[in-house]
């Protein structure tokens, strides 16, 4: 609610419904057994209740989204191998199929504590952009490493000034599935040095020996809403529907 670029963002109207309700509706189409909004603001909770969306009240002092999720798991009685997918409340264009695919990826890899998604990078500028997080996988689709740097490093091609290595590098998509038991203990793990350097929370899990399975998507997901301009674009898309 305190977004500096878009105050009260979760309640922004999109075709007659608050954005957080739009996101929850998309998430509910993913095949999930349950879709719950975790929020610390009573206005969000009231908006969800008014539109038939289950919501749970969490504390307001959480330092990260993972901490909020861990509290929500405890409140909802989720534990063990229950699968929890974290969908940000500002992604009203998220594909339900992507949510389901990330959950299925984790279900299919019992040795992993988390799963996420990635897609091929098509532009060199994106590969070099530190705001675009990259991931390198092993042969089984498990993450080797996440970085803001251009990985894998194209030793023989960097001097060319254009083009991309082959196979194409992968852009990480910020959606995560967790096993509930791991999610509940994740906030208590010490911050990893790599996490601190790269400012990437998923590196904490890897630092502590956990594995992350990665679903490869055919294309980039729809954009989230961070600015008033983003909101107007999303409103126009919903209006066109």
- At residue 169's C-alpha, the angle toward residues 144 and 90, to 5°, is 85
Instruction: Tell which residue, 55, 69, 60, 73, has the closest CA to residue 1.
Output: 60
**Residue 21 pLDDT:** 98
| Alpha carbons 79 and 73: distance in angstroms, whole number | 7
Instruction: Tell which residue, 107, 83, 93, has the closest CA to residue 215.
Output: 107
Residue 161 above 80 pLDDT? no
Q: Compute how many other C-beta atoms are within 10 angstroms of the C-beta atom of residue 10.
A: 22
Average model confidence (pLDDT) for the chain? 95
Instruction: Tell which residue, 58, 89, 60, has the closest CA to residue 73.
Output: 58
Residue 13 above 80 pLDDT? yes
pLDDT digits (tens, 9 = 90+) for 93-128: 999 999 999 999 999 999 999 999 999 999 999 999
| Alpha carbons 182 and 111: distance in angstroms, whole number | 12
Domains and CATH numbers, the chain: 1-80 (no CATH), 95-221 (3.90.550.10)
Calculate mean pLDDT across residues 9-33.
97
Instruction: Tell which residue, 13, 87, 29, 86, has the closest CA to residue 238.
Output: 13
Which range (54-63, 145-154, 160-169) has the least confidence? 160-169
Angle between helices 96-107 and 19-28 (to 10 degrees): 50
Residue 23 above 80 pLDDT? yes
Residue 184 above 80 pLDDT? yes
pLDDT digits (tens, 9 = 90+) for 189-232: 999 999 999 999 999 999 999 999 999 999 888 889 999 999 99
**Residue 63 pLDDT:** 84
Burial class of residue 219 (count of CB atoms within 10 Å of its CB; 0-12, 13-18, 19+): exposed
**Residue 157 pLDDT:** 86
pLDDT digits (tens, 9 = 90+) for 27-83: 999 999 999 999 999 999 999 999 999 999 999 998 888 899 999 999 999 999 999
**Residue 88 pLDDT:** 93
Angle between helices 19-28 and 42-50 (to 10 degrees): 60
Do β-strands 143-147 and 134-137 pair in parallel, antiparallel, or remain unpaired? Answer: antiparallel
**Residue 202 pLDDT:** 96
**Residue 158 pLDDT:** 85
């Amino acid at each position: 609610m305190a977004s500096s670029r878009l105050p009260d963002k979760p309640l922004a109207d999109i075709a007659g419904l608050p954005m957080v309700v739009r996101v929850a509706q998309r998430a509910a189409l993913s095949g999930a057994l349950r879709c719950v909004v975790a929020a610390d603001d009573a206005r969000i909770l009231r908006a969800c209740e008014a539109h038939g969306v289950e919501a749970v009240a969490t504390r307001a002092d959480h330092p990260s989204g993972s901490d909020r999720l861990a509290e929500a798991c405890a409140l909802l009685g989720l534990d063990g191998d229950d699968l929890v997918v974290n969908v940000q409340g500002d992604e009203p264009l998220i594909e339900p199929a992507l949510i389901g695919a990330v959950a299925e990826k984790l279900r299919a890899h019992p040795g992993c504590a988390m799963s996420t998604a990635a897609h091929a990078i098509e532009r060199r500028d994106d590969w070099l952009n530190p705001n675009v997080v990259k991931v390198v996988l092993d042969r089984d689709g498990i993450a080797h490493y996440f970085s803001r740097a251009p990985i894998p490093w194209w030793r023989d091609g960097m001097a060319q000034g254009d083009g991309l290595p082959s196979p194409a590098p992968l852009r990480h998509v910020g959606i995560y599935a967790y096993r509930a038991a791991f999610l509940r203990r994740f906030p208590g793990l010490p911050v990893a040095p790599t996490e601190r350097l790269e400012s990437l929370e998923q590196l904490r899990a890897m630092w502590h020996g956990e594995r992350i399975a990665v679903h490869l998507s055919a294309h980039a997901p729809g954009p989230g809403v961070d600015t008033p301009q983003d909101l107007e674009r999303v409103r126009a898309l919903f209006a066109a529907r």
